[in-house]
Chains A and B, each alone.
Chain A
């Protein structure tokens, strides 16, 4: 990792934290969304697999250090044993897969619309599928409800996460038009 990478990783981790601190913003349908989980998708789509995984690891380390960095001011070791800890640790593989897919899928010569669709797909596979695969088993285990019911319990969050994936892709395309940054 170069110093440039180090700077990007640290500052993107700070962005993920900052997005947890700004009040929820109402999305198109009027449903408010917290921006923190979108921050993870954004970090992955912009930075690429390795640096994004590093950035979310930094956020997780800050949680462990007792800092209230998660949305709603949550933080500290209690989070790690909570029912949603799987979704927190799942950020690392989710960010890696999202970033990797973004790197492979995005065809820069295509139109904005096509690229947005490609990045949305990356965010859905990494930021939703991979994340839920990590989060649901832990939820099922600690709450003792079994995988099927844990899956059902997670479904209500899918529409919001889909919306975040689309917004993250749109934002990424715009950001990359403004600054050149290579994924790695």
Chain B
């Protein structure tokens, strides 16, 4: 499992449900694109900092999470300054910075499970339009989350094995065996999913169930 960027806590933002947080974020972010006044944008940025800090995370942690974004923003701000002008650069950096902070505040206070539920609810309308099969989409996501650490480990093991053979740093030597293994594994995974009764049957057609074997026997099993 990959560790989520979410952090446990009990701040007001933590207690708020995922859907209103996401809706609020979407509205705020969109609105900020219509604001050009640097004073308003600076206020928004300060608000972003306050909201992000209100989650209980320290600025150092927030900075670490957003380091990549901050660097990109700095480069773009510089480009803006050189190519356009200082005022635009300032507006762009403040606006994107504010949005990044607010978005990250939502990410930090919402568990993957909560976000997953929102996503599943969004699958509903898409399913009615015939775009996707919600059950399959949800399983695909779960499966990807389940297999990321396994495949990262596999990739590292392959790199170590190649390094031992003096092939260190060869993209081919990593990618080819990794992909072949993944394709072979995906077949076994699909078989196992089928064997476990996927896709789910509709409740109406479910035949009577066998009785559960109760753990009377537990004393005898190791």
A71-88 residues at the B interface, CB under 8 angstroms: 72-84
B176's contact among A74, A78, A83, A171, by CB below 8 Å, is which? Answer: A171
A101 proximal to B (CB < 8 A): no
Given contacts A68-B2, A84-B72, contact A11 B147 (CB under 8 A): yes
Size class of the B contact interface (CB-based, 8 Å): 35 or more
> In the assembly, what is the distance between CA of A82 and CA of B104, in Å?
11
Q: In the bound complex, what is the Cα–Cα distance between A171 and B170 (angstroms)?
A: 11
Give the secondary structure class of A's interface. Answer: helix
**B-chain residues with CB within 8 Å of residue A78 when the two chains form the complex:** 66, 69, 99-101, 103-104, 107
Partner of A68, one of B5, B150, B183: B5
- Determine the chain A residues whose CB is within 8 A of the CB of B108 once the complex forms: 76
CA distance A15 to B187 in the complex (A): 15
B109-117, B204-212, B213-221 - the one binding chain A: B109-117
List chain A residues, Cβ under 8 A from B2. 17, 62, 67-69
**Interface flag for B40 (CB, 8 Å):** no
Cross-interface CB contact of A72 among B4, B68, B83, cutoff 8 Å: B68
- Contact, CB under 8 Å: A144 / B143: no
Chain B residues, Cβ within 8 Å of A144: 80, 84, 88, 91-92
Q: Mark B1-37, 1 if CB is under 8 A from A, else 0.
A: 0111110000000000000001001000100010000
Mark each residue of chain A from 135 to 168: 1 if its CB lies under 8 Å from any CB of chain B, else 0. Answer: 0000000111100010001000000000000010
Q: B115, A65: Cβ atoms under 8 Å?
A: yes
Query: Which of A2, A66, A83 contacts B96 (CB under 8 A)?
Result: A83
Q: List 25 A-B contacts (CB under 8 A).
A: A2-B190, A3-B194, A3-B199, A6-B136, A10-B143, A11-B147, A12-B182, A14-B182, A17-B144, A21-B152, A21-B155, A22-B174, A59-B144, A64-B115, A66-B4, A66-B6, A76-B5, A76-B103, A77-B103, A81-B29, A81-B100, A143-B76, A174-B172, A175-B179, A178-B176
Other A-B pairs beyond A4-B190, A7-B186, 18, CB < 8 Å? A2-B190, A7-B190, A11-B185, A18-B151, A18-B155, A22-B155, A26-B169, A27-B171, A58-B141, A62-B141, A62-B144, A65-B116, A76-B5, A77-B107, A78-B69, A149-B79, A167-B171, A171-B175
